[in-house]
Amino acid sequence: MFKRTLKWLGVIVLVLIVGVAIFLINLIWFRPWSLNLFYEKVFAEVIFSEPELLSQLGLVEQFGFTSHNGKLSDESPAHQQLQIDRWKKDLEQLHEYPLDKQTPSQKLSTHILEWFLKDQVDGEKWQDYNYPVNQLFGVQNQYPSFMANTHRLFNARDCEYYVMRLDALPVKFDQTLESVRKREQEQIIPPRFVVEEVLKEMTEFVAKPPAENILATSFKERAAKITTLSEQQRADLQKRVETSITSKVYPAYQKLIAYFNELLPKTTTDDGVWKLPNGDAFYAYVLRSNTTTDMPPNEVHELGLREVTRIEGEMRTILDANGFAGQPIGASIDKLGKDPRFLYSNDDKGRAEALAEYKRLIDAAVVESKAHLFYIAPKAQIEIRRVEPFKEATAPGAYYQGGAMDGSRPGIFYANLRDMNEVPKWSMPTLSYHEGVPGHHWQISIAQELMGVPQFRKVLPFTAYAEGWALYCEWLAKQAGWYDKDQFGDLGRLRDEMLRAVRLVVDTGIHAKHWTREQAIAYMHDKTGYGEKETKAEIERYIVNPGQACAYKVGMLKIQELRARAQKELGDKFDQREFHDTVLKNGSLPLEILEEQINDYIQKKKT
């Protein structure tokens, strides 16, 4: 009787939820004053159409909604067009809400959402100008990472969802094949090195016995921590996982491998997007989309050259004082990178020591940030992990993945430890401050924890803001005195700032000035002293993700400009903690809107 009563209560609750949903939809569609609900509608449309994104956000599981964790996101061209059509409709509807009737908070939200939606709609003509299978963030390497690191495994139901997602992979890869074939017909074919590298990566991935594949080993390791499972249940589930890898996952990868083997003879070594139909117009679009400015490629290129010259001067001062007077900067950095006193052993012991040092640096940065740089601080925790070995050969030196919004998964700073000779100790502090604290982890976590703003404001990404902030934090560490007793650490900071300046030069060089891949690699190595593998991975990243790398320096310079303006106009009233909180308290913003917010802060502080 009790179970029957619970069942009926569940039905009643479900009916109430549906009724409330219908009521809210009616408000959204038929009540022009329901702007806040419209914001949430736009957000809900996106996340509930992307199961993997919904899992990554960790937003709805706390309310009992979990079925999406057994599904994969749609990669088909039809779904892609459906999303764009939705953006168009949302933009039209947003314009129906009169600005003069909106609160200041709503006006800001409308301004941000309008910028984002217009950018998406403007990109419709370029929706196929990308490579869904690539060495950096292609579906073939993102899927295993997602399953190993993002898919939650807390109970038996999560394990069932895991198997369902393995079984669903053939459909996802068939949709991907449809997408890349469509691009081939449009003459949007990846450069030769991309095809060669993803073929190598996928071939090695399927060469492992199923039990040794990351999809099986990560499941086994995490399932062992689920106390509600018996040993027999774990064994049965593990067998199902390995069977699915054999019968579903590997055949899906083999189909991709077969296609790219056929595509390889059609590829060329022209790597810039200038080679694509209307490639110059496309590159102008991605530059605007990533930098949130109207800077043309040539202006970005010249900015990069000026910044390279300035940073060379600062690096020269430190190098001259440490025995490298008159020696080329790139060669000097290369020599310091091979100095045994700055290297960990190139084995698992050295990797463990490096991860421990990253943790020490970030823990210290948290203490200093709370004490001197910010009034606000996130609740979310951060973990430091190694990039998975199966993808580290083509992965960047480090990256950050935001935590779940319900707190079930921390933010993760991934360090690439493929070769410890690429990780000199003097390079580690600035990387920690960029990816961790007070960089990406601080900014993204604060945004996710914002109260009283629409959900989209917590997660919407603007590259120039996010990467500009993280690069600004590298510079901020210098201003805060964190390098006062570490000249070589400061040199590492400058070397990484030089990298971001070089990016302006080589990204525009490759995609607008017809530079070759080899020309860009040589320029970067000469200016930064990065190792051969690191330099190659960096340049190849810019080739498959045009314009993105330009956002770092553009964003940093804008934040520095706004800080200098605030200091000049406020004088003794300037408080860097207030300035930083102002930059962060609204979530990610296009740079033009960030400037408006800082100008408003300055005027209010003056009165």
What pLDDT does residue 15 have?
42
What pLDDT does residue 18 have?
44
- For residue 183, pLDDT beyond 60: yes
What's the average model confidence in pLDDT over 216-229?
A: 97
Half-sphere exposure of 95 (CA within 13 A, CB side): 8
- Give yes or no for a contact between 71 and 164, defined as CB atoms under 8 angstroms apart: yes
Distance CA 301, CA 212 (A): 46
Cα–Cα nearest to 394, from 140, 104, 25: 140
- For residue 23, pLDDT beyond 80: no
- Per residue in 363-408, pLDDT (tens digit) is 999 999 999 999 999 999 999 999 988 888 878 889 999 999 989 9
Distance CA 285, CA 288 (A): 5
- For residue 93, pLDDT beyond 70: yes
Q: What average pLDDT does the structure give for the chain? A: 94
- Per residue in 47-91, pLDDT (tens digit) is 999 999 999 999 899 889 999 999 999 999 999 999 999 999 999
What's the average model confidence in pLDDT over 510-526?
A: 97
What pLDDT does residue 21 have?
52
- Per residue in 452-482, pLDDT (tens digit) is 999 999 999 899 999 999 999 999 999 999 9
Cis amide bond preceding 396, omega within 30:
no
Q: Which helix (H) or strand (E) holds 322?
A: none
Q: Which helix (H) or strand (E) holds 500?
A: helix 487-512
Q: For the chain, what percent of residues have pLDDT higher than 90?
A: 90
Distance CA 81, CA 212 (A): 38
pTM summary value: 0.90
Distance CA 243, CA 260 (A): 26
Q: Structure tokens of 244?
A: 């699915």
What pLDDT does residue 396 have?
83
- Per residue in 351-372, pLDDT (tens digit) is 999 999 999 999 999 999 999 9
